[in-house]
Chains A and B, each alone.
Chain A
Amino acid sequence: MPLSISLVVNGVRKDVVLEDPRVTLLDLLRERVGLTGTKKGCDRGQCGACTVLVDGRRINACLALAVSLDGADVLTIEGLAKGGQLDPVQAAFIAHDGFQCGFCTPGQIMSAVGLIREGEAGDDPERIREGMSGNLCRCGAYVGIIEAVRDARKQLAISANEDRRVA
């Protein structure tokens, strides 16, 4: 029995018909919606390459059944830049060399966006490292990644303050 589901992906509504329910959110994004920025590393919850935000929270898309998320709001790496302008987290990864081969990077960046929104790590490198522990990097770019997250968090805090002053 085909199943129809509807998701909002990066602000755009996507109606998808699934022939059978064995489709993860990761495969749906990559194979059905054509968004290949989200990567498949382990496909078993162990590496974080597939990290996306679902209803504002970071999760592993490889261990989520798409049909179970019917109606959800999904943000992937493709939805982060606004009007050709990189998100501060993306810009910080570039500024701090937070990658080498780049395979883990979309997951790292989405995880960092989630971590900053969760708001608990603050500027403490130890807490940021622990908060990013669900994302492995085979190239070992961890030092740059942690610096990028710290810097992005500061940038975001500054612009939030500016918004408040303008408002």
Chain B
Amino acid sequence: MNLFDYVRPASVAEAVAAGSQPGAAYLAAGTNLLDLMKGGALRPGRLVDVTRLPGLDRIETLADGGMRIGAMVRNADLARDPAFAAAYPAVAEALLSGASPQLRNAATVGGNLMQHTRCAYFHDAASACNRRDPGAGCDARGGENRNHAVLGWSDACIATHPSDFCVPLVALDAVVEIEGPDGRRDVALEDFHRLPGTTPERETVLRAGELITALRLPPEAGGFRTHARYLKLRERTSFAFAIVSAAAMLRIEGGTIQSARLALGGVAAKPWRAKAAEELLIGAAPTVESFATAAEAALTEAMPSGDNAYKIELAKRVLKCALLLAADGTPRRMPALPASVFNFDTGCHSHA
């Protein structure tokens, strides 16, 4: 790990001033940042500790019926918050399917959004990586790339964004609240993470010194609570990143789908909203046929970026399966294995 200066500002304004200096990085729980610094992949000259900033650890219900979650709220506390879990059960399920209980007790909302790709070449300081070192090349092309992107990738970078949390959030039109040297602004989560294009080193739209202060859910996001699921395929039962995952949320009245919210994880450099597929479902019956058609539509633009064509078919099946589970209804209690295909107690259609 490189040597760095450590500062602990007392206010958001002080944090932004300290975080705007060249080479500075914000430190939340450090579960991603310290990991990358230990391997030498990231070498910030100054860490600005934001864990004690006042007012960033609250979960509030807003007057319009939406919710605001402070950037320092811990992942486990959010998943366990009764009002939050009742309103957005697929988000709670996604949170509980991520990492381990110890990591979720530490990891923050802001850090989860900002976590870097798990591409092994990004983590290995000795490998060529355009995302870490612009212009260096990409060792994942022609390397180990079976878990890389099938949507939105470019010749410069084929990495995926690893967050589970962000997948249902993007489907629910979550908004990121940001404070920076030029004041406050809001950015839709859908526009927050960038596709790589020719500048994969710019992972998000955050400008130098900008700090995430909160995440906001609009009032409509609470309308999907009765039919909301997250499904995550992993290489082992638990404590593993997604190969592919899907969030499916439905509003069903009189046997007809009124509206649908769909997103995929593990397929692109951002949580991938599937709007075309959502539109196909409006007015349809919640049947396996309409779900298969929607899943097909969600992946029409998909292309393998290496040894990963299997992920396209897998993503379709996971999305179809998530839709079937959502149509069955949100389980009354969180499944023993959140987001897992191995939930025998919730009657999972586990043939994905």
**Known contacts A3-B6, A44-B35, A134-B239, A126 near B336 by CB under 8 Å:** yes
One of B8, B51, B101, B106 near A131 (C-beta < 8 A): B101
Q: Which of A51, A68, A114 lies in contact with B49, CB distance below 8 A?
A: A68
Contact of A20 among B3, B34, B337 (CB under 8 A): B3
Is the CB–CB distance between A63 and B101 below 8 Å?
no
Chain A positions within 8 Å of B336 at CB level = 124, 126-127, 130
Q: Complex formed: what's the CA distance from A67 to B6 in Å?
A: 9
Mask, A27-71, CB within 8 Å of B = 1, is 000000000000000011100100100000111100111011000
B-chain residues with CB within 8 Å of residue A21 when the two chains form the complex:
4-6, 47
**Beta-carbon contact of B27 and A65 below 8 Å:** yes
Q: What are the residues of chain B within 8 A of A124 when measuring CB–CB?
A: 336
B51 and A133 within 8 A (CB): no
**Given A60-B106, A64-B30, A126-B337, also A114-B4 (CB < 8 A):** no
Interchain CB contact under 8 A, B1 and A22:
yes
Contacts of A126 in B (CB 8 A): 336-337
Once the chains bind, are B105 and A58 in contact (CB under 8 Å)?
A: yes
Q: Which of B31, B101, B237, B238 has the most CB of A within 10 A?
A: B101
* A25 CB → nearest B CB, Å: 10
Judged by a CB distance under 8 angstroms, whether A78 is at the interface is no
Task: Judge if B100 is at the interface, Cβ distance under 8 Å.
Answer: yes
Cα–Cα, bound, A95→B145 (Å): 46
- In A108-140, the 8 Å CB interface with B consists of 111, 114-115, 118, 120, 124, 126-127, 130-131, 133-135
Q: Known contacts A3-B6, A43-B38: does B239 contact A64 (CB below 8 Å)?
A: no
User: A57-B105, A68-B27, A130-B238 known; A63 and B34 CB under 8 Å?
Assistant: yes
A13 to B134, CA, bound (A): 47
A24 CB–B CB distance under 8 Å: yes
Minimum Cβ distance to chain A for residue B85 (Å) = 12
Is B59 an interface position by the 8 A CB rule? no
CA distance A114 to B3 in the complex (A): 33
* CB neighbours of B5 from chain A (8 A): 21
B contact residues around A57 at 8 Å (CB)? 76, 105
A-side contacts of B106, CB under 8 Å? 59-60, 63-64
CB pair A63 B6 closer than 8 Å: no
**Do the beta carbons of B4 and A22 come within 8 Å of each other?**
yes
Chain B residues with Cβ under 8 A from A133's Cβ? 100-101, 237-239
Proximity bits, B87-122, A CB within 8 Å = 1, else 0: 000000000000111110110000000000000000
Nearest CB of chain B from residue A110's CB, rounded to whole Å: 9
Q: Report whether A118 and B101 are in contact in the complex, using a CB–CB cutoff of 8 Å.
A: yes
Q: Assuming the A-B contacts A21-B6, A45-B103, A118-B101, are A60 and B1 also in contact, with contact meaning beta carbons closer than 8 angstroms in the complex?
A: no
Given contacts A43-B38, A48-B100, A59-B106, 9 further A-B contacts (CB under 8 A): A21-B6, A60-B102, A63-B29, A63-B103, A63-B106, A111-B102, A114-B105, A126-B336, A134-B102
